[in-house]
Amino acid sequence: MTSTTDIADIAKIIGGDHVTVTSIARGNQDPHYVEILPSYMLKVRKADIYFMVGMELDLWAQQIIDGSRNRKVLIVDCSVGINKMEVPTGQIDASMGDIHRFGNPHYWLDPENGKLIARMVAEKLINHDSKNADQYQANLTQFEKDLDSAISIWTKRFSNLKDKDIIFYHNSWPYFSKRFGLKTVDFLEPKPMITPSPSKLNQVIQKIKSDGIEVIASESYFSDRAPKFIASKTKVKTVKLAQSVGAIESADSYINLFETNLTILAKAYGVSYD
């Protein structure tokens, strides 16, 4: 079992025919909030390993695991070993919005971190099922090779995205932006998970007009209303990106998640990417 579809896709690649993988959250769901259904507990009841995103993104997972009454399930936090970004310092509280104490948890949106997740998955599968260890190791090696190759190609093909200013709806994209050189200049949410206010929208409109910002990108699960309102007042283009595997139809695998998002952005900016 996994909390999200991204880890599920990686686990399927590493585990191959020896594993059955199910994700609790669907790709088009907001991973911060997943309604806890009894049927999820039944699924976890049969699981050998549960891979969590961690960093307090999928806090709901623990309640599902507890409710499963599965005494043997191994709980794995995939964020261990990740070089965490935006770890808050000093006093934090709810006045700062829905802030994550251990840093920004959207680390899977850097493909380099996909390799770390894959290594974690492989290690746990090898420990749990040592008779198929060679297969898991071979799958890991192949996945890392494929991902390295893809990163190398993306870096060249989408080099025109480098240093482009962008406004995101929610702060899900620091790992992605850092990897591909985008410059995040603002968010529609005044604070994490706080609905955009009229004054915030007005502030963003002024910034777009003064700085010539071309693109607003949002996660697939957010309403279009605020981005479209801003687009109606400016010349900005609005796009929806896949925050997870399955959020958009073409983002049907971990590698295609990046291919899809980079292509959407290149088209929005009108830059060549072939």
Measure the CA–CA gap between 101 and 48, rounded to whole angstroms: 29
Q: Are strands 215-219 and 165-168 parallel, antiparallel or unpaired?
A: parallel
Give 150's contacts (C-beta < 8 A, 6+ positions apart): 111, 255, 258, 259
Measure the CA–CA gap between 98 and 116, rounded to whole angstroms: 26
Structure tokens at 228: 């479209």
Q: Does 187 bind another protein (CB under 8 A)?
A: no
Measure the CA–CA gap between 144 and 164, rounded to whole angstroms: 28
Measure the CA–CA gap between 166 and 273, rounded to whole angstroms: 18
What x/- string results for residues 147 through 186 when contact with another protein is judged by CB under 8 A?
A: ----------------------------------------
Among 66, 146, 148, 211, binds another protein (CB under 8 A): 66
Q: Does 224 bind another protein (CB under 8 A)?
A: no
Q: Does 68 bind another protein (CB under 8 A)?
A: yes
Backbone angles phi, psi at 115, to 5 degrees: -70, -40
Among 18, 20, 69, 127, binds another protein (CB under 8 A): 69
- Alpha carbons within 13 angstroms on the beta-carbon side of residue 153 total 13
Q: Does 87 bind another protein (CB under 8 A)?
A: no
Structure tokens at 69: 């009454």
Q: Are strands 183-187 and 237-241 parallel, antiparallel or unpaired?
A: unpaired
Q: Does 195 bind another protein (CB under 8 A)?
A: yes
183-187: strand order across its sheet: 183-187, 165-168, 215-219, 237-241
Least Å distance between CB 30 and another protein? 5
Residue closer to another protein, measured from CB, 65 or 217: 65
Segment 9-48, which members bind another protein (CB under 8 A)? Answer: 26, 28-30, 33, 35, 37-39, 41-42, 45
Structure tokens at 188: 């529609």
Q: Does 218 bind another protein (CB under 8 A)?
A: no
Q: Interacting stretch for another protein, rule CB under 8 A, among 8-16, 152-160, 192-200, 256-264? A: 192-200
Residue closer to another protein, measured from CB, 42 or 138: 42
Report the interface residues with another protein, using CB under 8 A: 26, 28-30, 33, 35, 37-39, 41-42, 45, 59, 65-71, 94, 98, 193-195, 221, 223
